[in-house]
Structure 1
Amino acid sequence: MQQGHAGGSLVFWFDHYWWLVWMVLFGALLASAYTHRKDPYCKGGDVLRHDMAARISHWFNAAGILVLIYSGFMLGFLWFPRQVAFTEGAQAMFNLHFVGAILFLFGAIYWVGNTFLAPKRLEEHAPYRGSLKDAIIHYAHLTGLTKKKGAPTGKYEASERLAFVPLTLLALFMGVTGLIKMMAHVWHLPTGLMTFATATHDWSTIVLVVLLLFHVVLAAVVPWAWPLLKSMITGWVPVAFVKAHHPGWYEELLKEGVCQLPEPKARPTQESEGTRNA
């Protein structure tokens, strides 16, 4: 606890409520253990792309990362100057950083628990041989640079699967180093460890921000991604969209007997029209 410029005490949640982080870690694992994952299934003309567990982990991670990035930039790091005074303003940003850490850790550990219990989710996200080539061809086709379409797109695009590895590693670096920095509020840690943790935390943030900008543009801004953004909110995506833009996944759905795009009704022939009119 420190004194503010007006004589009031400053309460930093990292100092007083550090134990809440460990409770969140345990709670996230417990919640994932009781989560029932749902495989894709059809309802009407839509197919389930993201079940509730996927949406929970995604939006907790997203909210936590956004709060962490905002509060981190306001507090200043590396060559970015501090944007708040080192009194009440800093207290508010440090406490906001604590909230972001809670949100992020819950989403990340909840995802880890779900992935451990349903390892095929990891296979869906992991890159494959030829991912880079397919990603280049895919976006070159979407932007009109080539007529070649490349390999049929699966449930997740090649670019998404490529981004999975660095995003996961960055989240791991930020989470572990963040926990080390938090533990320094409770115990005395070696200076060398703190220097390493701070540098890794800060540089991971820079790289993560760059990757997130690409992710937001490709997943939410460009028009062809809007149905997928909607599915991250509702869970559902039209089967017709899957057939047109994710033919690899559509073929899997057909093979598994999950659902099928309804065939268009045949137009009556001229002969049948004449017979009916007669």
Structure 2
Amino acid sequence: MLHALAGVAVVALIATGGWQYLKGLLDAETPIYMGTVYRIHYIAASLLIFVSVAFLTDWLLRGERSLTLGKGQGIRGMRGLAHELPKPLGTTLAYLLGLDLRRAAPPTEEFTYYERAVSFPTWELTLGLIILTGAIKAARYIYPIPGDVLYWVSAVHVGAGVLLGLKLLDHLRYVLAPSRWPLMVAMATGWVPESYVKRFHAGWFAQLSSSQATAGAAAASPAASTPSPVVGSAGGGGS
């Protein structure tokens, strides 16, 4: 649900922000009242901030690290990324980093190596810049900000908006590729089909299978997981 709200907020921000930018660039009248455009922009910005804070709070409380490469996994992550990228890009990356693509690609875990090494860090950077510069721009209505500072803040805000649009286009592969459609359903249900995990996330499937097997073994032999009474205790019959 939060993912869907973030998507709505991002689309609304790009549309209203682009409308404002084009109006100023073309210096033309618009058929839409600009006050309405600004209100929608601010509402979408507030929604994006809320969703971002909710995501961060949830990840911090759960200690979520699956969207990062992890400590000591940089080379492994880059090798996985090189295998996932289109061959010309992957080969170039491998050459620059001295990676051996003859080795089998590491199994994909809960998130792909592209998502962990490129996509998610780019989202972090882009959203961070958008929120920070947007907050500074909004603060000018209650606190005087020097014009030069506001100029550069606005420039970074627009640049981050362009990057946000590019990231949205990159993200559309999940919508346009039929093989990825189960993820669209998963946004609403919270469940990813087992067949999809087997096909695209072999490493994650192996982890889940191992966890289930361990849990099943523990449930099947409760005596093995129950500590024996200590001699001399109330349950030991030693008195």
Calculate the TM-score normalised by the size of structure 1: 0.63
Structure 1, unaligned runs of 5 or more: 1-54, 142-147, 261-278
Task: After TM superposition, give the deviation of residue 258 of structure 1 in Å.
Answer: 7.3
Equivalent in the alignment of 2:60: 116
- Write the distance in 2 (CA, Å) between the matches of 1:106 and 1:82: 33
1:134 corresponds to 2:134: no
Query: After the TM superposition, which residues 258-277 of structure 1 pair with which residues of structure 2 at under 5 Å, given as runs?
Result: none
Higher mean C-alpha displacement, 176-185 vs 74-83: 74-83
1:158 aligns with 2:100: no
Question: Is the CA contact (8 Å cut-off) linking 2:129 and 2:157 kept in structure 1?
Answer: yes
RCO higher in structure (CA 8 A, sep ≥6): 1
- 1:193 alignment partner, SS class: helix
Pairwise CA distance, 1:106: 0.7
Structure 2: which amino acid aligns with 1:138?
Answer: E
Partner of 1:198: 154
Q: Percent identity?
A: 22
Question: For the residues of structure 1 that align with 2:21 and 2:148, how far apart are their CA atoms?
Answer: 21
Judge conservation of contact 1:76–1:82 (CA < 8 Å) in 2.
no
Q: Is the CA contact 2:79–2:106 (under 8 Å) kept in the aligned structure 1?
A: no
3-state DSSP of counterpart to 2:108 = coil
**Please, which runs of 5 or more residues in structure 2 have no aligned partner?**
88-102, 216-239
> 1:233 aligns to what?
188
Aligned letter for 1:226?
W
1: CA distance, partners of 2:12 / 2:212:
42
For the residues of structure 1 that align with 2:110 and 2:213, how far apart are their CA atoms?
14
Provide the secondary structure at the position in 2 that maps to 1:125.
Answer: coil
Query: 1:112: how far off?
Result: 1.6
Aligned length: 197
Displacement of 1:103: 1.1
Q: Which residue of 1 aligns with 2:51?
A: 107
Comparing 75-84 and 110-119, the one that deviates more: 75-84
**d(CA) in 2 for partners of 1:62 and 1:112?**
16
- Of residues 83, 92, 98 in structure 1, which corresponds to 2:42? 98
Give the 5 Å matches for 1:43-62.
55-56=1-2, 58-62=3-7
Distance 1:106 1:189 in 2: 25
Indicate yes or no: 2:2 matched with 1:63.
no
The residue type paired with residue 89 of structure 1 is Y
Provide closer, same or farther for how the CA distance between residues 126 and 79 of structure 1 changes in structure 2, counting only shifts above 3 A.
farther
Higher normalized helix content (fraction of residues): 2
Equivalent residue number for residue 244 of structure 1? 199
User: Any conservation in 1 of the 2:67–2:115 contact (CA below 8 Å)?
Assistant: yes
Residue 265 of structure 1 aligns with which residue? Answer: none
CA shift, 1:77, in A, is 5.4
Cα-Cα RMSD: 2.8
Preserved contact between residue 253 and residue 259 of structure 1 (Cα < 8 Å): no
1:139–1:229 CA distance, 2 compared to 1 (3 A): farther
Alignment of 1:26-37 (within 5 A): none
Write out per-residue CA displacement over residues 219-271 of structure 1, whole angstroms, 9 at most, x where no aligned residue.
221122111221112111221221222110011102222799xxxxxxxxxxx
Match of 2:237 in 1: none
Note if contact 1:153-1:245 (Cα within 8 Å) is conserved in structure 2.
yes
1:257 aligns with 212
Q: Retained in 2: the 8 A contact 1:73–1:80? A: no
Amino acid paired to 1:172: G
Instruction: Please give the alpha-carbon distance, in whole angstroms, between the structure 1 residues aligned to 2:78 and 2:29.
Output: 42
- Alpha-carbon displacement from aligned partner over 1:101-150 (angstroms, at most 9, x marks no partner): 1111110111121122122x2x1011352434423423559xxxxxx972
Q: Secondary structure at the match of 1:61?
A: helix
Mark the CA change 1:140 to 1:197 in structure 2 (over 3 Å): closer, same or farther: closer
